[in-house]
Chains A and B, each alone.
Chain A
Amino acid sequence: MNTIKRLLIPGTIVFVLLLTAQIVYSCQLVTDGKALNRIDQHIDQLRQEVSLKEEKVASASSLMTIREKSVAMGFTESPKVMTMNQDSFVVALGQTR
């Protein structure tokens, strides 16, 4: 009888401890689940921001925007373009002799 008592008390204590550990661990996992959710949401948000930035860069560097900006800054399309071929230079530009 005493032997049974001696085994029952520590066994009960171990059982209660294990049960408590299990509950604490499970609760922590729930918290981790919430944290994981938050991380996922943060990743989503960052991805969205990157995508918005990419969109803004593409929009700002489009030819249409560049044209509008250049017109607003006073640039005009040159009506006459003159090109010079090296063979037709009248003086030897940048030549040593």
Chain B
Amino acid sequence: MMWRIWSVFSFFILCFILIIGRLFYWQIIEGNKLKAEGAAQYTMKLELPAERGSILTADNSPLVMNKSAFLVYAEPKNITNTPTFLRTVSQILTIPEATLSAMISEPNRVWVPIAHKVNMDKTILLQQASMSGIGFAKEPKRYYPEASMAANLLGFVGLDQNGSDKGYFGLEGFYNRELQGKSGSITIEKDVSGTPILIGDSVRVEPENGSSFHLWLDRTIQNIVETKLKQGIEKYGAKEGSVVVMDPKTGGILAMASYPSYDPANYKAYDKELYKNPIVASSYEPGSTFKALVLAAAIDAGVIKANTMFDETGPVQVGEYAIKTWNDQYHGQITMKQVLEHSSNVGMVFAEKKLGEEKFIKFIKDVGFGTLTNIDLEDEASPELRTDRDWKEIDLATASFGQGIAVTPLQMVRATGAIANDGWMMEPHMVRSIMHADGKTTEIQPKKVRQLFSKATAGVVTEMMIAAVDNGEAKWAKPKGYRIAGKTGTAQIPVAGHYDNTKTIASFVGFAPADNPRFVMLVTLREPSSSQWGSETAAPLFFNIAKDIFLYLGIPAQ
């Protein structure tokens, strides 16, 4: 009898243990999962996307803004008429029917994204078709009212590894975090029909929209520069070209253009090499455009004056190398001012020797070569500068006339800007102010980097540069009645350890009006075929652009 009682008792104990075990499994082990599944049935969580900020020019015109677009998705279980669904969606979104069919036929898929960032017109057509099993979610895309204008400095918005928007290159890349803002969410209890229950619990996290950026960039100057640059490249048969215009007093970039370029709205259709902005990411040898800066350093050090005489009788020997003038012509007794006018390499070696190795190397560093300018663009890179002990006599000699030393166009225009700004070198900047989503505005103040030379020296070198324009090789192209300070440059391109005589980078750097500079501009043309000289290609293009800028800024001829 007792064993029966014990058997029944043991059976109940076993059942009890099994029940406790099962409860432990559901409540402790699977508890969180079940809780989440339950919550999914009676709550809904909606993402409140943050709006990406806009990028505006100096006159508050948008270069980039947001445009309404939608994610089109399918809910296969709710599709009632599959053939009609496939035909309609395929026609409107131009997706092959077979692809669509494969997408919605995948087993166990309750939600299938069909197309991202579909524009408004197509979305309306799909909505008008009144099909079941199709849905739309807001997914704004970038819109460029000025089309591909300033593409190289804007960058573009693509997707990251999670499929979220991310800015790449230029301003979109540099300020990605500030532009994108932070998404919010709303979690609310719902009834069986999906309608929110007001007395239920709800948690709302507000989205933080991205900040908008107000640039120094002037839309009209940018348009002038882009139009003229394209025409110039076609006219002079150059492979590539770039123009950068900066306000020398603030460092604000007024225009920045490169050609060839790309369309940021359709960036995938272009070669990835075009994404980089050559003005901040590629290097070149500045050639004779560097001469004015070297002369400024020598004058500031007191080792030469504008009227210091130099006897230009023939090539100068530096070690085993003979340095000649660009046209192998020699003018005898000439002043330093004439050295700049004739763009004499021999005269520059004289000035460099007067300045001395130590001061010259220090000046190259002070002028910002070999270091980043800290412009607010993602793709900035700086060519390496050789170490102090690696400078040989011939390196210093060639560097005095801008060969054997590499810079970015931005470094060059920033350095020349110091001559136009009483010797003060400014930090170049794209953004003038940041407008935060809460309505506050942060102004970005112009930043002085250092004073390269005195105001008096800057004045003397400005006059020398004006004379170089008025009496130099490019005087024929200069607009009449304007005082423009500038210097041409023609640098050979190093190829596999030697210079190719047929390939040059023609450039012109200058500022105007010389007495109260409103802009400093650098024009570079890579391998122009009509003429290899800067005076016959880059200089006329510079003056052509300058003429339109004078007209736009209302600067009359004297």
Contacts and interface: CB of A to CB of B under 8 A. Distances in A.
A61 B146 CA distance: 9
Contact of A83 (B61, B191, B557): B557
A62 B220 CA distance: 11
Given A51-B68, A83-B481, A34 B195 contact: yes
A29 B191 CA distance: 12
* Interface class of chain A by DSSP: helix
Interface residues of A, number: 25
Interface string B521-558: 00000000000000000000000000100110000111
Interface stretch (A4-12, A13-21, A52-60): A52-60
A30 B197 contact: yes
A33 B143 contact: no
Interface string B197-213: 11100000000000000
Contacts of B149: 63
B196 interface: yes
Nearest to B66: A51
A64 interface: yes
B223 A52 contact: no
Which of the listed residues A29, A52, A55 has the most CB atoms from chain B within 10 Å of its own CB?
A55
B303 interface: no
A58 B143 contact: yes
A59 B145 contact: yes
A51 B196 CA distance: 27
Interface in B204-238: 219-220, 223
A63 B220 contact: yes
Contacts of A48: 68
B477 to A, nearest CB: 16
Contact of B199 (A29, A59, A61): A29
A58 B556 CA distance: 32
A33 B195 contact: yes
Nearest to A83: B556
B226 to A, nearest CB: 10
A62 B67 contact: no
Given A33-B195, A85-B556, A85-B558, A54 B147 contact: no
A33 B197 contact: yes
A44 B67 CA distance: 14
Contacts of A63: 146, 149, 219-220, 223
Contacts of B517: none
A1 interface: no
B437 interface: no
B147 A30 contact: no
A51 B142 CA distance: 12
Given A51-B140, A62-B61, 19 more contacts: A29-B197, A29-B198, A30-B191, A34-B195, A36-B196, A36-B198, A37-B195, A51-B68, A52-B68, A52-B120, A55-B68, A55-B143, A58-B62, A58-B65, A58-B145, A63-B146, A83-B551, A83-B556, A85-B558
13 contacts: A29-B197, A33-B196, A34-B195, A54-B65, A55-B145, A58-B143, A61-B145, A62-B61, A62-B145, A81-B547, A83-B550, A85-B556, A85-B557
List 6 tightest A-B contacts by C-beta distance, closest first: A58-B145, A83-B556, A62-B145, A33-B196, A29-B198, A85-B556
Interface of A: 26, 29-30, 32-34, 36-37, 44, 48, 51-52, 54-55, 58-59, 61-64, 81, 83-85, 87
